[in-house]
Amino acid sequence: PVQYTRARHAYSALQRERLAADCSAHLPAVLRGSPRLSSRAAPTPPERDEDTIRSLFPKTCSLPRVEFEADPGHEPAAGHEPVKLGVVLSGGQAPGGHNVIAGVFDAIRRWHPDSTLVGFLDGPKGIFRGDFVEVTREIIDGFRNTGGFDMLGSGRHKIETDEQMQNSMTVCAGLGLDGLIVIGGDDSNTNAALLAEFFEAQGCKTKVIGVPKTIDGDLKYPPHIPVSFGFDTACKTYAALVGNVAVDALSAQKYYH
């Protein structure tokens, strides 16, 4: 890993309040405690696209779907082994990115206190270049509940060529990653799906997971993905801005800024 040099050194009063906030009440009920995992049949592709999807993803399109089920009384099984996961921010910023990383960190530490989270720097190129840091609690606590993607940085690079695919697998295998989490929009998740297919075909143990991130609201798959994170905040922010301009125009009557 490289030395981490991206810590924030100054915070506004609002940021400090957010850092100290207990947001556990906002956690979906299904993720509180130790939810059960249930295996379901793989989703059936749309009929018009089924042949294309199965030809592009022969190894992964039929994998079973895994769902979380709320079970407040469920206790995690003893004897869990530590897990090692990687995470990367991909594409444009969206509110909530830092808390996705914080949530993953908290969850794997509940699974086993020796679990490790690796953060790839500046988007997908950090994967195939092997640019990463170990994400520690000190790093997490400097960004929890705050906006931005500056904890790790992001990028719009793609993992496209055979060399980039191979290098990505070499890095993930060398780190012994059990999973790689790609936080991105529709383009980034398409790239993640292709990477998952490549890893599976090559027998790599690293499982690739996509987290739907976009302020555009164009990454949905009801009922499994009702909305991407970041979209609701963006709508409220833009609505407030438009409302402010409208009120300003009504107030000034002649000029507005």
User: Token match 């500046």: residue?
Assistant: 122
Q: Contact, 159 vs 128, CB < 8 A?
A: yes
Single out the catalytic residue among 49, 71, 216, 248: 216
> Among candidates 53, 40, 141, 41, which has minimal Cα distance to 99?
141
Q: What is the CA radius of gyration of the chain?
A: 20
- Amino acid residing at 238: Y
Q: Contact, 193 vs 60, CB < 8 A?
A: yes
Q: Contact, 147 vs 95, CB < 8 A?
A: yes
Helix (H, G, I), strand (E, B) or coil at 213: strand
Distance CA 26, CA 22 (A): 9
For this structure, is 216 an active site residue? yes
Distance CA 188, CA 254 (A): 45
Active site members: 216
